[in-house]
Amino acid sequence: MANSILKGKRGVIFGALDENSIAWKVAERAHEEGAEFVLTNARIALRKKDIFTLAEKTNSQVIAADVTEISELEDLFTEAVQILGGKIDFVLHSVGMSTNVRKGVAYEDLNYDYLEKTLDVSAISLHKVISVAKKLDALSDWGSIVTLSYIAAQRTFSSYSDMAHAKAVLESIVRQFGYHLGVDKKIRINSVSQSPTRTTAGAGVSGFNAFFNYADAMSPLGNADADSCADVCI
């Protein structure tokens, strides 16, 4: 049941690809709770066009931006502030990609060009997002930034490959920038470590069904679904 806890809040939501995306669920819940926001993803992801259905449903606008490109992030936050009529109260960073995983490259034989891309897209992009928004003074005091992590940052899941490194770096950025933004602007940064979830990205990991079922059996309440993760983010 919605309680309007985000009424009057402005946000930017990265990474809604289709209705299986956690970012998609967060956007739906944020809208239910009264938030206004812009949706953003890379141009190649926008070709799928599902995000425009979400935009219509949530009365939001879509801005294309490559999360690894500083100039595009600058344009994104400048435009978002103009569209929403004020500074940004919340950001959801729900971004991750590994070409090594997609192409089935064995961990012990990683393609290092792919690894650099994995780290840039899946982790360093969070630093870029925050840094750009801070330099533009686009973030409200007492705001909130949430990113999505995974337990592979601390534990070994062989098929998760270099994405595990990316999540470890991501969590380090949360801690480091969390200190600086906390001191400077009273902004909290949190990472949410979600259960194995049948998203478009998650289902592409080799052996996904095996560790989905294992995690489900090991958890007293079973795996949390994407809607439950969205509730935590909200």
- Looking at the DSSP assignment, which residues form a beta bridge with residue 41? 64
**Out of 67-76, 139-148, 157-166, least confident range:** 157-166
- CA atoms lying within 13 Å on the CB side of residue 1: 1
Q: How many domains does the chain have?
A: 1
Range of the domain at 179: 10-233
What CATH number should be reported for the domain holding residue 224? Answer: 3.40.50.720
Give me the active site residues, please.
150, 160
Please indicate, yes or no, if residue 53 is contained in any of the structural domains: yes
Q: H or E element: which one contains 138? A: none
Contact (CB, 8 A) for 208 and 25: no
Please indicate, yes or no, if residue 138 is contained in any of the structural domains: yes
Please indicate, yes or no, if residue 4 is contained in any of the structural domains: no
* DSSP code of residue 13: E
Please indicate, yes or no, if residue 187 is contained in any of the structural domains: yes
Please indicate, yes or no, if residue 1 is contained in any of the structural domains: no
Q: Which residue has the higher pLDDT, 200 or 59?
A: 59
**What's residue 204's pLDDT?**
58
Distance CA 115, CA 208 (A): 20
Residues 101-135 have pLDDT tens digits of 999 999 999 999 999 999 999 999 999 999 999 99
**What's residue 119's pLDDT?**
98
Distance CA 87, CA 179 (A): 21
Local confidence band at 205 (pLDDT 50, 70, 90 cut-offs): low
Instruction: Give, in degrees to the nearest 5, the angle at Cα 194 between 193 and 196.
Output: 130
**Out of 66-80, 115-129, 142-156, least confident range:** 142-156
> pTM for the complete prediction?
0.92
Computed over its alpha carbons, how large is the radius of gyration of the chain? Answer: 17
Local confidence band at 201 (pLDDT 50, 70, 90 cut-offs): low
Average pLDDT across the chain, whole number: 92
Q: Is 67 exposed, middle or buried (0-12, 13-18, 19+ CB in 10 A)?
A: buried
What is the CB neighbour count within 10 angstroms for residue 152? 21
Percentage of the chain exceeding pLDDT 90:
76
**What's residue 220's pLDDT?**
86
Lookup: tokens for 188: 């909290």
**What's residue 199's pLDDT?**
65
Residues 2-35 have pLDDT tens digits of 889 999 999 999 999 999 899 999 999 999 999 9
Asked whether the predicted pLDDT for residue 197 surpasses 80, the reply is no
Please indicate, yes or no, if residue 52 is contained in any of the structural domains: yes
* DSSP code of residue 47: T
Q: Are strands 10-14 and 139-149 parallel, antiparallel or unpaired?
A: unpaired
Please indicate, yes or no, if residue 5 is contained in any of the structural domains: no
Local confidence band at 203 (pLDDT 50, 70, 90 cut-offs): low
